[in-house]
Structure 1
Amino acid sequence: MSLPDVFLEIDRQAPIKVLIVKLSSLGDVVHTMPAVMDIQAAFPHAQIDWVVERGFAPLAARCAAVQRVIPCELRRWRKAFLKSDTRAQTRAEWQAFKADLQRDAYDVVIDLQGLTKSALVAWLARTTPTGKRVAMANRTDGSGYERPTRWVADVAIPITPHIHAVERGRVLCAKALGYAVPTAVNYGLGQAAGQRKPVVVLVHGTSRADKEWPLSHWYALGQRLKETGLDVVLPHGNEEERLRSEALADMLPGAVVWPRLSLDQLTTEMAQCIGVIGVDSGLSHIAVALDLPHVQIYNFDTAWRTGPEGLRRQISVMDCPTPTVDAVWRAWQQCLQA
């Protein structure tokens, strides 16, 4: 039996309410933004709300299509509830979150995460009498998927397994709501106005050691950038990254180590720079969303799933054990020329 292309019949001009459930991580939140913008383009009168971990709430709120962000702290609450001295406070915070979540009734609740925690949030959300909960029907390559997702969903939509993270969310929303996926990709973050600073952000920090690029490579790249008249700035998100940033700044006279900035502040600062070169990390994905010239460095072949896709100003470079400085430099020149 063939599967339908449209799973829900909704009036395009109706003032519908849509709830997006995508809790974390940073890269996943960024990759969800085009799907949210697609919904707004197809349903201009829709109210689109988003449930997300509190740490990523300021970034989700910057997405032009989002009307209301509902922050949660499931990671912290899970640990805090096990401790007797924080249990009462955690219970109060959980009840406040549920009240915020259930303030509005939604015509469509879309779980774009596919995990038990997101299924729980989707289940707790309040729907209209005809409202539906939508989720993926299956796991896709390189991403997690847990069975409660299908238990909660009123409509479970099959997704082709080998698909880019951005396209996965866009296809799911398009199939659920009955519109074609737009050709153009819009993250809803806009672009920096006016002249950008002659500064390149070097994003060396990442959550996994096997994604890192050697310090010697960063030094050689930084030298080349400075020879072309560009300055270098170095962000950091933890103590280890701060020490690496300071070590690089000592090697590259004039390089600036940014202070520890919030995610919102980092996004604002990055938007004013001429471009970004970085490893596979959340900040690199923000660079793509900001439409900055950007080279994304991969030590193994996962760029097809999370890297810049079909964009002229953003290029992924992959090699094993790691890309050379020359390869990254050539890609950077291509980004600037584009």
Structure 2
Amino acid sequence: MFDKVDRVLICKLKFYGDVLLTTPVIASIQARYPHAKIDLLLYKDTKSILAANESINEFYLIEKKKGLLDTVKNYLSVRQQLKKNHYDLIVNLTEQWPIGALIASLRRPSIAFERDKKQWNKLFSRVTPLTGTHIVEQNLSILKGVGFSETDLKKEMSLHYRRDDYHYLVSQLPALPSQKYVVIQPTARQEFKCWDDDKFAHVIDYLHQRGLHVYLTCGPALSEQQQVQRIAEQCQSSPDLTLAGKTTFLQLAALIDHAVLYIGVDSAPMHMAAALGTPQVCLFGATNYQQWRPWSDNAVLIWAGDYHPMPPRDELDRSKKYLTWIPEQAVIDAIDRVLHDSGNNKGNNKGNEKA
């Protein structure tokens, strides 16, 4: 059924990190069908994280509309565009019913993860069980339903940025190319994923004592900018806030790519560091770290549950900052270990930069 594949659509409508975590699926399909054009169906605002990925032929974008009429118009417009492409395979990695209905209306070969709802399963040509522990393994397991073997699967993530993204950073920070620096992004979409401000401040002071420059980054939201400002104010030697809230995703990727170390919590930049191969220390609390940890051999994960009993998943309080159980010394020890292992010799260009 899938011997000849010239056009593929991959659907993933979620957050930035979730979209980045689909890159092994893209790579696996490209390796199996090297001449196939691979399109993506995404939320409009998440396109930016894969904008420099040359494996992607075309992006089709769903906008998060507030009104029902605008939403319907957007879906119908996208459907009309997709219908013209006569896909040989549609890989659905999303769970939204409207997307399932959209895919069914295209009447092309499709696959999705099996669910306990018969009406969902009927929307697709095939359904397959979700297997694996980590989200990368789970995403890749969908391809086994269309004949991919374990050896066919490309398990490395990838993230590319443009040369102009790095040049922009240097235009703002002329000393950047000669610096040994650490990137810290302490913020996340949900506050329960964050660590204590004062502990981050102590870690920053320690990094300064080691002679490393520290760039504190965050998203553009006012709450995130206020958080990094609070952290900076508690430091004996202030970190560099020049880029905080002022970079695109690919400019942030360029910054992380050239860093000797990344430190953060469970958020998209953590997955970016993993995809870029940058050494990192990441902090986890209530989220399932086995499923969402950095997909990297170059990362040290610190879980709050190792310092205090973590409640069962069905009793977790999403308003509570479980990361507060993590002592700052544990993070400092992890920093020493990662910097020692990496030898501070990480190259300045690992092939992630594109023209």
Short-chain TM bin = 0.7 to 0.9
The structural deviation recorded for 1:15 is 5.1
How far the C-alpha of 1:94 sits from its partner, in A, is 4.2
Q: 1:226 to 1:117 in 2, by over 3 A?
A: farther
Q: How does 1:199-218 map to 2 (within 5 A)?
A: 199-218=181-200
Q: What do the CA deviations read for 1:207-255 (whole angstroms, capped 9, x no partner)?
A: 2222110011101111111111111212222111101111222333341
The partner residue of 2:239 within 243, 255, 268 is 255
| C-alpha distance in structure 1 between counterparts of 2:330 and 2:129, whole Å | 38
Q: Would the aligned equivalents of 2:263 and 2:281 in 1 still touch at CA under 8 Å?
A: yes
Measured after TM superposition, the shift of residue 182 of structure 1 is 5.2
* 1:92–1:116 distance in 2 versus 1, CA, 3 Å: closer
| Secondary structure at the counterpart of residue 133 of structure 2 | coil
Contact 1:295–1:316 at 8 Å: present in 2 too?
yes
Q: Structure 2: 5+ residue runs without aligned partners?
A: 167-176, 306-321, 343-355
Deviations 1:89-141 (A, max 9, x none): 666544433333333111110111233143134234463xxxx11000138xx
Matches within 5 A, 1:292-311: 292-300=278-286, 302-309=288-295, 311=296
Structure-1-length-normalised TM-score: 0.81
Residues 15, 136 of structure 1: alpha-carbon distance in 2 compared, 3 angstrom cutoff? closer
Which amino acid in the other structure matches residue 216 of structure 2?
Answer: L
Aligned counterpart, 1:97: 78
**C-alpha spacing 1:148/1:215, structure 2 compared with 1 (3 Å):** farther
Once residues 152 and 180 of structure 2 are traced to their aligned partners in structure 1, the CA distance between those partners, rounded to angstroms, is 33
When residues 174 and 66 of structure 1 are mapped into structure 2, their CA distance, relative to the original with a 3 A threshold, is: farther
Equivalent residue of 1:273, what SS? Answer: coil
Q: Distance in 1 between matches of 2:142 and 2:212?
A: 41
**Match 1:334 to one of 337, 347, 355:** 337
Confirm whether residue 241 of structure 1 aligns to residue 224 of structure 2. Answer: yes
Which sits farther off after the overlay, 187-196 or 220-229?
Answer: 187-196
Tell me: CA distance 1:212–1:274, structure 2 relative to 1, closer, same or farther (3 Å).
Answer: same
- Identify which range, 267-276 or 107-116, moves more after superposition: 267-276
The 1-side partners of 2:266 and 2:333 are apart by 18
- State the shift of 1:300 in Å: 3.4
1:315 paired to 2:268: no
Offset at 1:263? 2.4
Tell me, yes or no, if structure 1 residue 118 matches structure 2 residue 118. no
Match of 1:71 among 28, 47, 61: 61
- The answer as to whether partners of 1:30 and 1:285 remain within 8 angstroms in 2 is yes
Cα distance in 1 between the residues matched to 2:240 and 2:211: 15
2:123 matched to which residue of 1? 152
Q: Which letter maps to 1:10?
A: F
Give the TM-score of the pair, scaled to structure 2.
0.78
SS in 2 for 1:186: coil
Is contact 1:135–1:155 with CA below 8 Å preserved after alignment?
A: yes
Question: Hey, which bits of structure 1, 4+ residues long, moved more than 6 A?
Answer: 191-196
Of 56-65 and 241-250, the range deviating more from structure 2? 56-65
Distance 1:100 1:106, change over 3 A: same
Trace 1:13-52 onto structure 2 (pairs within 5 A): 14=4, 16-52=6-42
Residue 114 of structure 2 is aligned to residue 137 of structure 1:
yes
1:239-275 CA deviation, whole Å, 9 max, x = no partner? Answer: 1110111122233334122243332332233223222
- CA shift, 1:197, in A, is 4.4
In 2, Cα distance between equivalents of 1:207 and 1:260: 17
Distance of 2:5 and 2:35 partners within structure 1: 5
Equivalent position SS for 2:150: coil
- Alignment partner, residue 139 of structure 2: 169
What SS does the aligned partner of 1:152 have? coil
- Secondary structure of the 2:95 match is coil
Identity among equivalent pairs (%): 21
Stretches of structure 1 lacking an aligned partner (at least 5 in a row)? 1-8, 82-86, 140-145
SS in 2 for 1:219: helix
Q: Which deviations, in whole Å up to 9, do the C-alpha atoms of 1:33-58 show, x marking residues without a partner?
A: 11111111222122111101111112
1:265 and 2:251 correspond:
yes
Distance in 1 of aligned mates of 2:256 and 2:206 = 20
Amino acid at match of 2:91: I
Is the contact between residue 22 and residue 118 of structure 1 (CA under 8 Å) also seen in structure 2? no
- 2: CA distance between counterparts of 1:117 and 1:181? 33
